[in-house]
Amino acid sequence: MDSRGNDAGSWKDKAPLPGFQRPIFFASTTVFLVALFKWPIRWIISGAPILQFTILLGTSTGTRVLPRITLYPLFTTLNLIYAVASTSWLLYDVYVLICYPAIFITCLFQFESAAYLARKSLRAAIKNLHFIDDKIAFFNIPALEIDTEVDGLMVLRGITFSLSSLSFIVHGVELGIKLSNDMELAIQTQSVEVRLLRGIWINDCYANLKGGKYEMTFGEIDAKTTDTDGDQIFIKNTALLRAATKELESDWGLPLSDPNGEPRAVKMTEEMTGGSGVKPSSPGSALHEMKQLSPDNGTASERYYEMIEHITNTCAIHEASKHVKENADAELCGDPNDLRAAIASQLHAQPSVPHPPSRSIKVTTLQQLSPSYVRHLLHRLPMLLRLLLNPLSYFHPVHINSITASASGRWIESILVDYLFGDYDQTNSQIKSLKTRISDWLSDANFAVQLVGILGLAQVPFLTNYKILAELSSSDITAYRSLPKKVDLDKVIRLGGAEARFMIPIFLLPHHEHLLPPTPSYDATQHAAEEVEKADGKPKFVQAEKDLEQKLKDEANVKLSVHARLPAVFSQELLDIGAALVKATKVIEFEKAPNAMDAEIGGVLEFGRALKGGMKEGFKKTVVDTVANDKWVAKVVGKIMGKLENAKGDIGYSGEIPIPLQVYRNEGWKQDEGEKILP
């Protein structure tokens, strides 16, 4: 057996090669034809005889490509295609463009000397790359600073390309996205493998929502806040959730306030990397910082595997997993789902991008690298984009081992304090007791939602009459409450799986602004308003009112459909907290509307006023305790939820996500370079 797994000796031992299959015979015949005729010259220039000679040479050494296909039909097909292509200069050029790369690839696969020479030459020519057999490796890759529709920082610690399998693996993916001025989303995974025309496989993925006290109201905060240098910043006006044990302290030794006592602004890259930050630079200087490895094959192989091992061992996921296994009991470590939830909880206190390189490149800088005429051409040929995305989406389904999303319970607590409890706990001991009970359950814990066995499918249509379809399914969904300090967790919700389906308008693709619906005119708005007035019944009124609202806001919709698969299991602890929350809501309602409460019980207590003035308040307390008895509510809800534990089927929601269109209209106007050629 040779290095490629071919039985090199078996072909020679069976029988000698026929004359026409001997490379010397074929070469001599070709030279003889050139001496007699002129037409073989064009044939030789096309590369067809060179490719045949290369294949015959591999046959003689027992290392031929495509060994299962006999030579006669292979050569016949090759020359038949040439005969057709030679009738047209365009087909001939296409044939030549395909034939010579085929010769190169054939030599690489058949001859070890050619493969070694190619690796050595490429190492010398591109010193920033690392060639290992059929692999190409990149290390110390500059970070990608996202500064387009969203702001963030993405780090790829290593990339390995495999030429033989036509695939590449990304090692150590770290992504931080700025959601608001005081909140960010961190996403990490150990590896992503992309197999050309076969699919994408993503390892366990961890997402952590981190931020300020009011992080769930980030829609009210302008996410596009920059400093004098034009860099994105965070406003550190609250204690960050990822430092849950610290009150009003900096996460990484950076003060929260400036000398004047005002909230301190920190650069986004500084915050996400734990104070390290990265230096924006040009693509040329950033690529120059990439890791240079030895061109020697043996040394390169050893160094390559050392780098991969280093990335794996220093990954935040690996370190969190090691910490959990050392401090958790055997039962938790034995369940991979529980282990992932505990790891997500430990990652919550880490920087979003723990291993930043020294350099970064902005997305807008990369966008400017392509010549303007190329961008203009692509803008006028949007069909080319659909022609590219259609097979890419079809041949690359996304398989994700698991996604575990974690957030601190403190933001839930802050919302309850601001929007529910308010100051009522200062005057009502019952509300204070309920608030304390709920806060104790929330504040010290992290909450994680885990989706296992995820499959993502997308279909980008070639024809503009259809919409983009995206489907996401999960075989198991579990919600956890975890205590990071104790490395302990509880399952609070578990579902049998879920499916989501999105229908996205085709005009939301880049360069497709010509498909946008027209801007709502005054007449169209007036007509929509008339439809509201003429609506027959509540359903039609609500629909007409929504249509009018969207016309006034100039919005389109992405249709969403989400279905959860039953059965569903809820923990009793969660039901008890839910019942306490219901009771608190009811008590606060009575506190907010004492007059309405008096009207309800006034008739019953009319005679009580003559007997004893305090009877009314006592009766009110009795009514509240009866209506909002948390134990009774928990018992009723528990019975209902108990039915769901044996139920089958789906339960779901279908709705629409509004998309403002003015941004797309402005982009189309800025890039308008004439009419579309192939819309």
Q: Is 371 exposed, middle or buried (0-12, 13-18, 19+ CB in 10 A)?
A: exposed
- For residue range 485-512, list pLDDT tens digits in order: 776 788 999 999 999 999 999 999 988 8
Average pLDDT over every residue of 527-535: 89
317 and 383 share one domain: no
Q: Is 278 exposed, middle or buried (0-12, 13-18, 19+ CB in 10 A)?
A: buried
Neighbours of 276 (CB within 10 A): 16
Q: Is residue 644 part of a domain?
A: yes
- For residue 396, the SS3 value is coil
Higher pLDDT, 446 or 288: 446
Give me the percent of the chain exceeding a pLDDT of 70: 73
| The length of the chain, given as a count of residues | 679
Range of 183-197, 407-421, 636-650 with top mean pLDDT: 183-197
Q: Is residue 319 part of a domain?
A: yes
- What letter does residue 241 receive in the DSSP assignment? G
326 and 381 share one domain: no
Higher pLDDT, 168 or 12: 168
Whether the per-residue pLDDT at 646 is higher than 90: the answer is no
140 and 231 share one domain: yes
CA distance 486 to 359: 38
Q: Is residue 534 part of a domain?
A: no
User: Which of residues 362, 386, 416 is at a domain's end?
Assistant: 362
Q: In this predicted structure, what is the pLDDT of residue 12?
A: 39
Q: Is residue 440 part of a domain?
A: yes
Half-sphere exposure of 409 (CA within 13 A, CB side): 19
By the 8 A CB rule, do 206 and 342 touch? no
267 and 245 share one domain: yes
Q: Is residue 314 part of a domain?
A: yes
469 and 331 share one domain: no
DSSP-H helix ranges across 315-352: 316-327, 330-334, 336-347
Give residue 12's domain range. 8-110
Q: In this predicted structure, what is the pLDDT of residue 120?
A: 67
Q: Is residue 287 part of a domain?
A: yes
Q: Is residue 567 part of a domain?
A: yes
Average pLDDT over every residue of 371-395: 85
- For residue range 537-556, list pLDDT tens digits in order: 888 898 899 999 999 999 99
- What letter does residue 232 receive in the DSSP assignment? B
Q: In this predicted structure, what is the pLDDT of residue 70?
A: 80
647 and 622 share one domain: yes
Average pLDDT over every residue of 469-494: 87
Q: In this predicted structure, what is the pLDDT of residue 267?
A: 66
Q: In this predicted structure, what is the pLDDT of residue 219?
A: 37
Higher pLDDT, 428 or 310: 310
Q: Are strands 398-408 and 199-202 parallel, antiparallel or unpaired?
A: parallel
- Residue 157 corresponds to which amino acid? R
Helix axes 594-602, 615-627, angle to 10 degrees: 100
Calculate the average pLDDT of the chain: 77
Backbone angles phi, psi at 444, to 5 degrees: -90, 0
- Residues forming beta bridges with residue 355, ordered by sequence position: none
332 and 419 share one domain: no
484 and 613 share one domain: yes
- For residue 209, the SS3 value is strand
343 and 414 share one domain: no
Which residue in the block uniquely carries the two structure tokens 């033989």? Answer: 164
161 and 89 share one domain: no
First to last CA, the chain: 55
Q: In this predicted structure, what is the pLDDT of residue 1?
A: 39
Q: Is residue 383 part of a domain?
A: yes
445 and 567 share one domain: yes
- How many independent structural domains does the chain possess? 3
Q: Which two tokens stand for residue 531?
A: 């439809």
Whether the per-residue pLDDT at 644 is higher than 70: the answer is yes
